[in-house]
Amino acid sequence: MADQVKTIGVLTSGGDAPGMNAAIRAVVRTAIARGLKVKGIERGYMGLLHEDIKDMQTRDVSDIIQKGGTILGTARCPEFAKLEVQQKGADICRKHGIDGLVVIGGDGSYRGAQALARLGINAVGLPGTIDLDISCTDYTIGFDTAVNTAMEAIDKVRDTSSSHERCSIIEVMGRNAGYIALWCGIANGAEDILIPEEYDYNEQTIINHIIAKRKIGKKHHIIINAEGIGHSNSMAKRIEAATGMETRATILGHMQRGGSPTCKDRYYASVMGAYAVDLLIQGKTKRVVAYKAGEFVDFDIEEALAMQKEIPAYSLEVSKLLSL
């Protein structure tokens, strides 16, 4: 049996997400409570390569559970996809005595963790992304806060849209994934939801929809557009020209990534952080923590990365029914 892990490193990587701090806090405190040492690695794989590594004690994670962002910082480090760079990362872990690593991030970050695990560093991934686009899990850290932030912002736009009898295109985050758009589309009662997974780029359908809704007395027309489709400003101009309905675009942008995490994000991130440490203590490596069918579970990273996730077709159908 492998030697028991003695020192756990923790890093956040890729786009930040509210709840990452709760996960860091849980990793640090669970590890210390179980008699291990913890090292915080700043700015993801970039900080690992620069050896921006510090010892962490229980008090270092005081007063952070309610804070958005990540106290460790995060970064994108494209060179970490190269084998020689990954080898350097693994050597640095060894140099600092890090024999277990918790990586909090999305699919890309999991690939880095997978590479380090292959090079002998026990590694576990936690799903940290506002996009909900990790196939093996029904929940990702930050999604709940992000959709609630977006939902509140869209409610505000809707007020003014109704007063002025306008069409509003509201762009939400999600470069490759339409989960934020879908959830807000339903929660905000949008007339149209455009998501990268299914949009056919036929604007005439939207235009016809607006004209039809106006005829039955709708005062506004809310379109939730996912970032992956984008072009909200030019779309607004074309829609206004074609329908005669004043149209404005609002791009919510990075405000969706910030702010104090919801109770759900704090709770799930805390349990997942502890779970990751316990996996490492059990001698498990190359695993990712997930929430599936009402339970916290774990999968092999490779298996998790090979899984596919689809936008729920029934929810999409419902979104269309309810915009009548």
User: Mind telling me the catalytic residues?
Assistant: 131
Residues 129-158 that bind ligand F6P (CB under 6 A): 129-131
- Measured CA to CA in angstroms, residue 249 lies from 154, 185, 216, 237 at distances of 12, 15, 23, 9
If one asks whether residue 109 binds ligand F6P (CB under 6 A), the answer comes out as no
If one asks whether residue 15 binds ligand ADP (CB under 6 A), the answer comes out as yes
Q: Which of 8, 92, 115, 170 binds ligand ADP (CB under 6 A)?
A: 115
If one asks whether residue 54 binds ligand F6P (CB under 6 A), the answer comes out as no
How far is 51 from 283, CA to CA, in rounded Å? 25
- Decide whether 131 or 191 has the Cβ nearer to ligand F6P: 131
Shortest separation between residue 27's beta carbon and ligand ADP, angstroms: 17
Q: Which of 76, 209, 248, 264 binds ligand ADP (CB under 6 A)?
A: 76
Binding mask 283-322 for ligand ADP (x = CB under 6 A): ----------------------------------------
Give the one entry of ligand ADP, ligand F6P, none that residue 175 binds, where binding means its C-beta sits below a cut-off of 5 to 8 angstroms depending on kind.
ligand F6P
Shortest separation between residue 134's beta carbon and ligand ADP, angstroms: 8
| Total of residues contacting ligand ADP (CB under 6 A) | 18
Q: Let me know: does 250 contact 168? Beta carbons within 8 Å.
A: yes
If one asks whether residue 265 binds ligand F6P (CB under 6 A), the answer comes out as no
If one asks whether residue 173 binds ligand F6P (CB under 6 A), the answer comes out as yes
Chain centre to alpha carbon of residue 190:
22
Q: Let me know: does 204 contact 168? Beta carbons within 8 Å.
A: no
Q: Let me know: does 130 contact 160? Beta carbons within 8 Å.
A: no
Q: Let me know: does 122 contact 114? Beta carbons within 8 Å.
A: no
Beta strands, E only, 242-300: 247-251, 287-292, 295-300
How far is 294 from 304, CA to CA, in rounded Å? 17
- Minimal CB distance residue for ligand ADP: 108
If one asks whether residue 15 binds ligand F6P (CB under 6 A), the answer comes out as yes
How far is 154 from 143, CA to CA, in rounded Å? 16
What's the helix, strand, coil split of the chain in %, to 5? 45, 20, 35
Q: Considering only 37-45, 158-166, 167-175, 188-196, which stretch makes contact with ligand F6P by CB under 6 A?
A: 167-175
If one asks whether residue 194 binds ligand F6P (CB under 6 A), the answer comes out as no
Q: Do β-strands 287-292 and 295-300 pair in parallel, antiparallel, or remain unpaired?
A: antiparallel
- Measured CA to CA in angstroms, residue 174 lies from 17, 40, 136, 150 at distances of 13, 28, 18, 12
Task: Give the residues lining the site for ligand F6P (CB under 6 A).
Answer: 15, 106, 129-131, 173-175, 227, 257
